[in-house]
Amino acid sequence: MSAASWSIPAIPRAAPPARGGLPGDAFLVAARPGPGRRRAAPGRRLRLRGGGVVVARAGAAEVPVTHPEESGVVFSEKFPLRRCKTVQGKAWARVVAEPDGEGMCKIVIGCDVEGKWVLHWGVSYDGEQGREWDQPPSEVRPPGSVTIKDYAIETPLVGSPNSEGHMVHEVEIKFNQDTPIAIINFVLKEEETGAWFQHKGGDFRIPLSGSLEDGDPFGAQQDTVHPGAKPEGSSAQPQETVPGDKGPSVKRISEFYGEYPILKSEYVQNFVSVTVTENSETDKSLVEFDTDITGQVIIHWGVCKDNTMTWEIPSEPHPPKTKIFRQKALQTLLQQKTDGTGNTISFLLNADYSGLVFVLKLDEYTWLRNVDNGFDFYIPLKEPHKSDEQKVDDKSAQTDGLIGDIRNLVVGLSSRRGQRAKNKVLQEDILQEIERLAAEAYSIFRSPTIDAVEDSVYIDDPATVKPACSGTGSGFEILCQGFNWESHKSGKWYVELGAKAKELASLGFTIVWSPPPTDSVSPEGYMPRDLYNLNSRYGTIEELKQLVNIFHEAGVKVLGDAVLNHRCAQFQNQNGVWNIFGGRINWDDRAVVADDPHFQGRGNKSSGDNFHAAPNIDHSQDFVRNDLKEWLCWMRKEVGYDGWRLDFVRGFWGGYVKDYLEASEPYFAVGEYWDSLSYTYGEMDYNQDAHRQRIVDWINATSGTAGAFDVTTKGILHMALERSEYWRLSDEKGKPPGVLGWWPSRAVTFIENHDTGSTQGHWRFPYGMEMQGYVYILTHPGTPAVFYDHVFSHLQQDIAKLISVRRRLKIHCRSKVYNMHRK
């Protein structure tokens, strides 16, 4: 079912709790926005009570070496840039059914976008229904093919120049004209980026027979293609059907061709050079920018004083073609070079500023930061003076210095990542120094003389963690989604997931969310049919029971994915409408809501939004609720589920959910309440209170018996990271801006799931910024959820470190977040 900036590096190791610290609380250190006060988004620090410190500061780049030997030059550095560029091309499929000299027909699949392409494919045979894949017979597999589990093949595409000299990538699949294969199913994968390319959210489906019974040969539409019809978006010429022939899918076509546009994102390397020259006569600094990026380039920038890293707008005059951005920063358009090789600009700044912080903006969605550490660029405008540090004796300045030291250590350690550790002792020394400095900084912040505001943030804020309840479990839960959109294709997912139980437990996960278990019209499980039939595309009921037992033995609880909003019927009524149900729960059309025109229900009106792909169930009916409560209790006892992930809860009143949960008594429950955030003229609003209010209202309707996925926080993180608008991470009262800021114990935070990511990609998290998202949710209250695809990827080690920090510091779903500012 779908500015100024700061950044948070992953901490390799956290400090031990400082003496007197209360474990499990988190500090968000930032200037509170308010009337007449600029929101100091670039200068934030995330501080974990108990000693752990995560630094989040604008301009936290490691300051490169200056060149004092150059007269008047304070700073000069050439920074590499990496930007994402969209390349448009096309994919195509061509069926040549005319046999060659060897009596073989062929299908050619290709694309014209540069990259390392792989065809991920399978087949469907004559007479098969649905969209399950089978592996093709060995004789039709091209050279270089490798098997993927027991349902697919991956074959590399081969690049070669076409007649126009452009590089194209193609693969030929040869088959006998009497092959029983009816359909070639495939998606394309670009190995260098790991990106998947589908058609309309589904597989490409190429018919080798005259038509497809389930519709569009190039995608997921369900319209019927009649004999002799030409599929939309393709060039297919079926043979004429034989008189008296009753089936449309037995004849081979003599020709088929279809193509589809492909958009691929790729990275381009550029640079930006910054030079600062000090002029003692004018008491000003000359700042020069130079980049090889052509086209429009804007520097989004501000200045700071006294090494505070707090963005300010410099006094006028400002450079030409400069505008003030929301009273927080300046945006200056660079000037194109006369030779067309890039852009440049230079301007003067008063000498009373200590530094300049900037990012580059190419368009509304492309912002470039320091690729070495992911932070904004920080440029010193003065030579550092050690005597200034020696004169500072107030506690806030002490803390700034300590945090700066920690920041440099973390950046230094991060810069060595990807290299083999030649001196492990040195790295261990760095980690120990981080711990020592963090503990010292923490003790200073705990001093009663610090002038700070510590507001209670949450509506449920007890001094200790509450006992276990269905909304939160123990309060220390860390959830892993144990599947993606493709998991059903193996047919043995329960077995495969069970093999990873010990590994997931060792990583620190306490709950795993398993896929929908019931018989379903769709192989992914979200179109349930016979609720008591738990033999699904993921495995048998016995394999499911074994899976749950394996996780229980590893100390991990298991959530079942319960689809209660809608159900697919097994029989038609007298009007030919599918609204009569079979199996053990054999409802008639009284179980269907009356206001869904597609399914002619005789129940009451819906208590929520309708899901139009299947009959929406009327939960106001006593017999419906009684049957569903009995079913949930049966699954708790029969399968051993510990709780529920509830699908599409936007479709029915939360009060019914309360009824179901009080009956089935889950250890943990979370609902998927997903709707659109607030936008004005295509721009995401800063204030998302209306969006999170709808989620909180649903949770409240359940009487807090269930939590909900914090869709608000996910959306805000998207914009904050994509556009470096980190001021969005604090609401108007200085609190976290999502459900996390209002009802943290019921907020299940996440950055990706099977709908938003995987091969669906309905709302994919910004590429390359996944770890920044996980740093946020794993160091904040709420219950964090980590996506399967991220756990079993190159991100695993960093995710494991963050989970370790969270557990060591006892951060829980009700940990406090303090927004601190100096008066």
Residue 242 pLDDT exceeds 50: no
For residue 7, the model assigns a pLDDT of 35
Residue 210 pLDDT exceeds 60: no
Least confident interval from 221-225, 696-700, 775-779, 814-818: 221-225
CA separation for the pair 739, 716 (Å, rounded): 11
For residue 748, the model assigns a pLDDT of 97
As annotated, the residues of the chain forming the CATH 3.20.20.80 domain(s) are 479-561+624-809
| 57 touches 42 (CB < 8 A) | yes
Rounded mean pLDDT, 513-542: 96
Mean pLDDT comparison of 376-380, 637-641, 720-724, highest-scoring range:
637-641
| 818 touches 735 (CB < 8 A) | no
Domain 479-561+624-809 has CATH 3.20.20.100: no
| Geometric angle at alpha carbon 200, from 196 and 202, rounded to 5° | 65
pLDDT band of 427, cuts 50, 70, 90: low
Q: How high does pLDDT run on average in the chain?
A: 78
User: Catalytic one among 435, 627, 672, 731?
Assistant: 672
Rounded mean pLDDT, 807-819: 89
Q: Which residues touch 138 (CB under 8 Å, ≥6 apart)?
A: none
Q: What is 119-172 written as a DSSP string? A: EEEEEEETT--SS--BPPPGGGPPTT-EEETTTEEEEE-EEEE-TTS-EEEEEE
Rounded mean pLDDT, 596-622: 91
Rounded mean pLDDT, 383-389: 54
CA separation for the pair 236, 642 (Å, rounded): 51
pLDDT band of 639, cuts 50, 70, 90: very high
Residue 217: exposure state from Cβ atoms within 10 A (0-12, 13-18, ≥19): buried
**CA-to-CA dists, residue 28 to 45, 420, 599, 723, 730, angstroms:** 6, 34, 50, 21, 9
Q: Which residues touch 37 (CB under 8 Å, ≥6 apart)?
A: 31
For residue 241, the model assigns a pLDDT of 40
For residue 419, the model assigns a pLDDT of 45
Residue 635: exposure state from Cβ atoms within 10 A (0-12, 13-18, ≥19): buried
For residue 302, the model assigns a pLDDT of 92
If one compares 229 and 438, the residue with the highest pLDDT of the two is 438
Least confident interval from 2-6, 588-592, 676-680: 2-6
754: which 2 tokens? Answer: 């099977």
pLDDT band of 384, cuts 50, 70, 90: low
For residue 69, the model assigns a pLDDT of 44
pLDDT one-digit tens code per residue, 287-326: 999 999 999 999 999 998 876 667 889 989 999 999 998 8
Q: What is 669-738 written as a DSSP string? A: EEE-------EETTEE-S--HHHHHHHHHHHHHTTTSSEEE-HHHHHHHHHHHHTT-GGGGS-TTSS-SS
| Geometric angle at alpha carbon 284, from 283 and 287, rounded to 5° | 160
pLDDT band of 554, cuts 50, 70, 90: very high
Q: Name 125's bridge partners.
A: 181
Q: Return the closest-CA partner of residue 297 out of 338, 264, 348, 345.
A: 345
Nearest 5°: phi and psi at 263? -115, 120
Catalytic (active site) residue 647: yes
Q: Given its phi and psi angles, is residue 519 left (phi above 0), alpha (psi -120 to 50 degrees) or beta?
A: beta
**CA-to-CA dists, residue 707 to 424, 597, 625, angstroms:** 43, 31, 20
Q: What is the largest CA-CA distance in the chain?
A: 99
Residue % of the chain over a pLDDT of 70: 73
HSE on the CB side for 164, CA within 13 Å? 4
Q: Return the closest-CA partner of residue 654 out of 624, 619, 627, 623.
A: 619
| Geometric angle at alpha carbon 111, from 108 and 114, rounded to 5° | 140
Rounded mean pLDDT, 434-451: 47
Residue 725 pLDDT exceeds 80: yes
Residue 642 pLDDT exceeds 70: yes
Least confident interval from 44-58, 108-122, 595-609: 44-58
Residue 228 pLDDT exceeds 90: no
For residue 555, the model assigns a pLDDT of 96
Least confident interval from 144-153, 196-205, 443-452, 778-787: 443-452
Residue 720 pLDDT exceeds 70: yes
Residue 531 pLDDT exceeds 90: yes
pLDDT band of 402, cuts 50, 70, 90: low
| 799 touches 790 (CB < 8 A) | yes
Residue 670 pLDDT exceeds 80: yes
For residue 233, the model assigns a pLDDT of 43
CA separation for the pair 754, 747 (Å, rounded): 19
294: which 2 tokens? Answer: 């052509």
pLDDT band of 196, cuts 50, 70, 90: confident
If one compares 401 and 521, the residue with the highest pLDDT of the two is 521
Mean pLDDT comparison of 26-40, 62-76, 365-379, 585-599, highest-scoring range:
585-599
Nearest 5°: phi and psi at 75? -155, 140
Eight-class DSSP state of 273: E
As annotated, the residues of the chain forming the CATH 2.60.40.10 domain(s) are 85-210+252-264
Catalytic (active site) residue 352: no
Is the torsion defined by CA of 715, 720, 726, 728 positive or negative? negative
Rounded mean pLDDT, 384-394: 48
| 44 touches 357 (CB < 8 A) | no
If one compares 607 and 386, the residue with the highest pLDDT of the two is 607
Eight-class DSSP state of 375: S
644 SS3 class: strand
Domain 73-82+267-380, CATH: 2.60.40
For residue 134, the model assigns a pLDDT of 85
Topology given in CATH for the domain delimited by 85-210+252-264: Immunoglobulin-like (2.60.40)
Residue 249 pLDDT exceeds 50: no
CA separation for the pair 179, 185 (Å, rounded): 15
Rounded mean pLDDT, 467-482: 79
What's the one-letter identity of residue 801? K
CA separation for the pair 60, 42 (Å, rounded): 10
CA separation for the pair 289, 800 (Å, rounded): 40
Rounded mean pLDDT, 86-113: 88
If one compares 652 and 407, the residue with the highest pLDDT of the two is 652
* Helix, strand, coil content of the chain in percent (nearest 5): 20, 30, 50
What are the E-state strand segments in 202-309?
Answer: 204-207, 234-238, 253-279, 284-291, 298-304
User: Catalytic one among 618, 627, 647, 770?
Assistant: 647
For residue 404, the model assigns a pLDDT of 59
| 152 touches 135 (CB < 8 A) | yes
pLDDT band of 27, cuts 50, 70, 90: very low
pLDDT band of 62, cuts 50, 70, 90: very low
Q: Return the closest-CA partner of residue 592 out of 572, 160, 211, 167.
A: 572
For residue 56, the model assigns a pLDDT of 34
pLDDT one-digit tens code per residue, 252-274: 555 788 888 888 877 788 999 99
What's the one-letter identity of residue 11? I
Give the DSSP H or E segment for 495: helix 493-498
For residue 37, the model assigns a pLDDT of 31
Q: Which residues touch 74 (CB under 8 Å, ≥6 apart)?
A: 66, 276, 277, 278, 285, 380, 381, 382, 383
Residue 221 pLDDT exceeds 80: no
pLDDT band of 341, cuts 50, 70, 90: very high
For residue 87, the model assigns a pLDDT of 84
Q: Name 170's bridge partners.
A: 110, 158
Rounded mean pLDDT, 451-476: 50
CA separation for the pair 567, 112 (Å, rounded): 42
Residue 70 pLDDT exceeds 80: no
**CA-to-CA dists, residue 735 to 40, 401, 742, angstroms:** 14, 26, 8
Q: Name 500's bridge partners.
A: none
For residue 799, the model assigns a pLDDT of 95
For residue 820, the model assigns a pLDDT of 60
